[in-house]
Structures are given as C-alpha cells and as structure tokens.
Amino acid sequence: MAHPGIGPAISGQARRPLPVPLAVHLPYGVLAAAVFFNAVLAVVNGQITALTPAVVIATEMTLIGTALLIAARHYRPAMTIPIAFIVWLFLFMLLRCAVVEPESSIKFFRDVVIAPVFVMLGLCTDRRHLVRYFLLIHAGVVAVAALEAFDTPAYSDLFHVKSYFINTRGLTEENFWNTTSELFVSATRSDTRFISWADAIMADHRVSSVFLEPVSLGAYCVIVSGITFALWRSLGPLTRVVLPASNFFLIVACDGRLAVATFVVLSVACACWRILPRVTPILYLPVVMLLCFVFIALTNQTSGNDDFPGRIAWTVELLKDFDVADVLGFSDGFIERSVDSGIGYLIISQSIFGLVLFWLFTSASTRFATRDQICYTHAISLHVAFNALVSYGFLSIKTASLMWLVRGVLEAHGNDPSQARPPRSE
C-alpha cells in the first residue's frame, strides 16, 4: 500500500504531498533572530524609544532559552557531549558565584553556553533547508552592508549605532574617539584602512552591516568561508559564484585584517583536508599560542599599537601577568584588559580547565567522518584560534549562533541531505 502523499491514489490521481511541519522551520527562525536582533533593537532604539541593557540581555536569553527548549523537545543521543559541557559550565558558574561574585559569573556562563545550545539545536534541524536559509540570512547581511558602504548617512539615520551602544552597553561619548562619526568606535581607524584601495569605491570606514561593529562582520566572513567550503557540493552553479563574491565584498568592506589572514590559512587547510591528520584541528590553538610567544621573544614587540603585532603582544603580556587565582577563574582583576584577548577572557571567565574543554569542544567533538564535517572543523577551529588572539567576539551570539548551528546540522546529517529528517511531531 502506497504511503499517503508519496504513492498514487487508488483513483489514479496523485495525492498532494504532506505539508512540512512548522517545527522544521523554527530552528532557522531562531537562527535568523540571533543574527539580526541587535540590528532590529538598534532601529527600535533610534526610531521609537530608548532601550536599556536589560532589553538586550532579555532578548539574548530568550533566544538561548528557545533554542534549548527546541533541542530538549527533540532530544537524541548525539546531544550527550553538548549537555555534559552545559553541566560543566553550570557547575563552574555556581562555584564562581560563591568565590567571586554572581553578576559577572552569570554573564560568563551566558557567553559560552551559546556554543553547546546551538549545536544541540543544529542536531535536530532539517539539513534540507540549510542552504536556503543560510543564503537568505547572507543576503540580508550583504544588503545592509551595501547600504552602509555606499550610503553611510542613510545607514546612520536608520540604526543610530552610537546611541544604541551608549544606551545598551554602558559606553559614553568619550569612548567614541571619532566625534565626527555616528558609527561604532572601531569603525574608523586612527590610521588608513588595511585594504586602502577600497576607499575609491566605497566609504572609507570599516563596514559593520547588521552586526553594528566591524569585528563581528569580519568574524561572520570567516564563518561564511567555512560554510562555503563545507557545503560546496550542495551549492548550485550560480551560488558558487555569488556566495564567494559577496563574501569577498564583505571582507573588503569591513577591512578585516584578521579575517584576511584567517581566510588564507583556512583555505589551505580545507584544500588539504584529505591529507591532514585527525589531530590537526586540536593543535591549532596550542601552536598559534606557541608561535605568538616565540614571535614576541624574538622581536621584543610590545603592546600599544593598534595592529596585529601589537594585539599579539597585548595577549602575551596579559597571560604573563596572570597569577593562580586568575588561571583558576577566581578573579576579575584582569577582566577589563582581557576584552582584547579572547584566550585571556576565556581563562578569566572559565578557568584554564574551561578553556581546555571549550577548545576540545570546538576542535575534537566531531565525528570527522565526512568531507563536510572535516572541512568545517578545520574552519571553525582556525577561526577560534586566530580570533582568540585579539578578541572574544567568537563568543557573541550574533555570529556564534550561525557557526554552532551549522556544526550541529553537519554532525547530524553529514554530507547527504537525504539523511535529514524533520523533527518529530509530538
């Protein structure tokens, strides 16, 4: 007997296919909200009413909670590792609350729990719609970036970026050193752009798009590069042209020095995925950190300059100043200095043990069985390893939600979209 919606009816007329449950699309709705919510809130803040930090925190927690509820409703054994990681994060948060103070400890928990939660969401997400929704999200990012690059006054009038960060992030007018710009403080460099030839064809500031600050757009570009390599066989001929070209535009627009460097290394790793040993992704962060210490020792580079060597020196000097309490995550003494050092921030907020667990979760908690999984693991491991030198932006839900959900989808379905199944209707 033919299955309803698949086989022909007895009358000889083909029945209509069964409707796709709304639950299949819900994870992608959560993902889109996580990527765009800051931009939406900025419009509300600038056009309707002033917002407070509580609104941003509540929105982010709602997104994380919704993702967790969806994952819990569609539990599967593959979620064991993410759940174990969440348990560790929760227990360490409780311990840190008792030793240090609750407010920062809860924030640190929220920063890192995004990774396992969105991996779990990805594990119960239907891969057959992944490329479609990813391209829709990417189109939105590119469209807003184009607006900012070619009509900056219209972008500023729409988002009022400076006002948004002052109202919701606790910044002040003094934090924005460029008083002639309404953009984020790092959107304009004190010197020239890294990709200076772009000044002739677009605005001379660093573009931020929906992320409102350029560092996150640079991180997004690296993640898009990893997704492109991983999903290459699932992309149509036109997409294989448009997606890399639009991502190149974003990299140039955000003037991402780190994004360019990461993309080059990432491309080599993904091209050599067949021959690189399984342990290679695990080695990225330790090797990068070792090379940084060697570089500083040989060159005597010191912090202070807003360039890549200066930022590396900042991280090395910070780590050298840590004492036992800092390494164990039981001190907030260096928290302000660690905002420009992702690895320092992770140690301060999660302890050295939490750093190791987060890194293993990034580089080793994969089946590493298909081309998609292997390329993507190389990509996100390199992204975290390089980004951790200069920022903790890889923890931001704006970009981390996309990075980790795709990780979960690829772990659940490998490189065969036909294996994907909609979540169970309960």
Q: Residue 65: which pLDDT band, with cuts at 50, 70 and 90?
A: very high
Tokens of 318: 């910070």
Residue 67 CA from chain centroid, whole number = 16
In a domain, 109, yes or no: yes
* pTM for this model (two decimals): 0.90
**Any domain includes 234:** yes
**Total number of domains in the chain:** 1
In the DSSP assignment, the letter for residue 52 is -
Alpha carbon distance 6, 14 (integer Å):
8
Q: Write out pLDDT tens, residues 338-397.
A: 888 899 999 999 999 999 999 999 999 999 999 999 999 999 999 999 999 888 889 999
The pLDDT, as a whole number, for residue 422 is 43
Q: How far apart are CA 417 and CA 385, in angstroms?
A: 30
Reading the block at residue 5, the tokens are 């919606």
> Mean per-residue pLDDT for 239-245?
96
CB atoms inside a 10 Å sphere around CB 204: 14
Share of residues in the chain with pLDDT > 90 (%): 67
In a domain, 13, yes or no: no
Comparing 102 with 377, the larger pLDDT belongs to 377
Bridge partners of 281, per DSSP, are none
422 part of a folded domain: no
Closest CA to 408 of 133, 181, 212, 116: 116
Reported as a single tens digit per residue, the pLDDT across 279-318 is: 999 999 999 999 999 999 898 888 767 677 888 888 999 9
Residue 409 has pLDDT above 90, yes or no: yes
For residue 64, tell me if it sits in a domain: yes
Residue 43: inside a domain, yes or no? yes
pLDDT score for 8: 37
Question: What is the predicted pLDDT for the residue at 256?
Answer: 82
Q: Who's near 153: CB < 8 A, 6+ residues apart?
A: none
For the record, the structure tokens of 186 come out as 């790092």
- 257-291: buried (b, 16+ CB within 10 Å) or exposed (e) per residue? bbbbebbebbeebbeebeeeeeebbbebbeebbee
Q: Is residue 281 part of a domain?
A: yes
Q: Is-contact 168 56, C-beta < 8 A?
A: yes
Under a CB-based contact definition with an 8 Å cutoff, are residues 167 and 52 in contact? yes
Using 50, 70 and 90 to split pLDDT, how confident is the model at 200? low
The mean per-residue pLDDT over the stretch 168-179 comes to 72
Per the listing, tokens 């004190």 go with 190
Name the residue range of residue 226's domain.
24-414
Q: Is residue 129 part of a domain?
A: yes
